[in-house]
Amino acid sequence: MKLFESVHRDVFTVLSSPNRELYAEALCVLYEAYQDHLKIPETVLYSMLRGKLERQLAEASFEGEDIDEEELRDVSGRARFLMRKLGSRGWFEKERGKDFEENIIVPGYSSRLLELFHELTSDDTARGFSYVFDTYSSLTVSKNEVGAYEKMASIYSAYENTRALIKLLKKVYHNVKNYFQLQIELQDINKVLSSHFDDFGLKVVETYIRPLKIRDSVPKYRIPIQSILDEWLEDDAMLLAISNAALQDKRNETIELCRAQLLEMMFWIKTQYERIESEYLDEIDSQVRRYTRATTQKIESLTNRDQNTKGNLIYLLSALSEQRQSAKLVDAVQSAFHLYEQSFLSEKSLWHRKQAKKRVKNAPIAIFEDQISEDAKDEAKKLMSSRYSKTAALDYLRETFGEESVLYTKDIDIVDDHAYLMNMLALIHGFDSDSFYKAEILGGTFSREPYIVPQLKFTTKE
């Protein structure tokens, strides 16, 4: 990655100078002007710098800077130097308009850096993301559209939303880790409580974790998203149509590349939604539980260390309760407190935690081909071609279909364990591309004594 082929070579020098605090404030002013104006007149930026940074400019020491004595004399001159410095370091450029007035132009890399600095320093809580619902919504709406362009656009939109979701989940996971370090540094119990309930509770739990569990839930929309993508992946005519739409939209150079890109994106989206719960959401939940447990222990520790009468009593009583032989300790404090020992039996009184044994690694056992007997090979062949193989399941369902093209589980006679297992295997193989039918989960169950059977729909492929 050649960074300085994309950005100005000196763009970061202002942030490493002795006056970096002043330059950082000036960049905030530049970002504000960039947000408020399409064209930023030079006089407007100059007035904003002079008005908003008047005190900082007056107090700043420009020793070692290439500032003229005339510019150093007053705040106006220092503001002009500030503009000249930022412009020479590539943070903005100038262009002359039709009326010969000079306007400030912010390059692309500069605008992205300004956006990043604003996001890092802003206290605004990010709310309202809906990546999962947007993916589901765009795919569902385009599914009912006749045009291929809508379907093609929805795939690209779903891909970008899924990438943004993965990025968000990584951000949440690493953000929780930062609160671990913050809790280590805090030693005041009020600050610990404020950090946990105000900062972590609002900025992490309410902003990200709760929506991922309720509103923008992956388990809620995962199956419909994958079902729509599976349906499109099996339709060659539609794949050709959306590949043509992608080529017309100049998404790639040839129709083959467009098709390959669309297939890659659809398979990637399916794979991500298959692993999001186990590899991301479960890990985030585990991280949150560890943080909550650490915070609780920190609060308990700070409470017990409180150097007042209450804290000392808590510490003393805790020490007495943790000692198995506390009679001597009770006798030692009898002169100051009237205490006595009290014991009781509970369901855990006669229970001891099992001690884990350390596993010892032994030398690996070498297995050679000639050690496998012919009987074992024959048994393996029989197992592969057993009555519950994929072929047997397809034959069972083909016989059950008969002359029909649509079949519901409620219409199938399930009289024994074999029929029950065959229906379950038919559901599993109904999502394979080489099966002669496709399966659909309708939701709900019905009773076929003594079995509980899910509501399923099997449809032969045309």
Domain extent listing, the chain: 3-121, 131-304, 387-460
CATH number, domain 3-121, options 2.120.10, 1.10.10, 3.40.50, 1.10.3470: 1.10.10
Distance CA 200, CA 179 (A): 7
Decide: 229 and 266 in contact? Cβ < 8 Å: yes
More confident of the two residues 208 and 351: 208
Decide: 192 and 306 in contact? Cβ < 8 Å: no
CA torsion angle 235 241 244 249 (round to 10): -110
| Mean pLDDT on 98-123 | 82
Q: pLDDT, tens digit, for every residue of 286-303? A: 888 888 888 887 777 777
**What are the DSSP E strand ranges found in 258-314?**
none
pLDDT at residue 185 is higher than 70: yes
Q: How far apart are the first and last CA of the chain?
A: 50
| Mean pLDDT on 340-351 | 67
Tell me what pLDDT residue 340 has: 65
The pTM score is: 0.51
Tell me what pLDDT residue 159 has: 93
Tell me what pLDDT residue 170 has: 87
pLDDT at residue 125 is higher than 70: no
Tell me what pLDDT residue 462 has: 65
pLDDT at residue 418 is higher than 90: no
